Amino acid sequence: MHVKSSSSVEMKVFKLGYDYVIKKLREYAEKALEKRAVAVILVDSITRGDYTAFSDADIVTVIRNDYNRKPRHLL
């Protein structure tokens, strides 16, 4: 959104589309959980509620570490 003041200086105002961001984060989490993720955790400013339009989404994804294990039929 563009806002002009009486001094004719142009200023841009940004607004975070919170619902859209949460929807996309939920989609990411669901896909991660379908794969190897055990948990997907959203942390930082979005969870605290003090986010801005310039905030990033900080996510912790916990995955299983079982790739070194041999299949049972090979033991």
* Residues contacting 61, CB < 8 A, separation 6+: 32, 37, 39, 40, 41
Supply the pLDDT for residue 6.
Answer: 59
pLDDT tens track for 24-73? 999 999 999 998 899 999 998 888 888 888 888 899 999 887 766 666 55
- In this structure, how many other beta carbons lie within 10 angstroms of the beta carbon of residue 13? 8
Instruction: Say if residue 2's pLDDT is above 60.
Output: no
0.85 surpassed by pTM: no
Supply the pLDDT for residue 3.
Answer: 54
Supply the pLDDT for residue 62.
Answer: 93
Chain centroid offset of residue 8 CA: 37
Which residues share a beta bridge with 10?
4
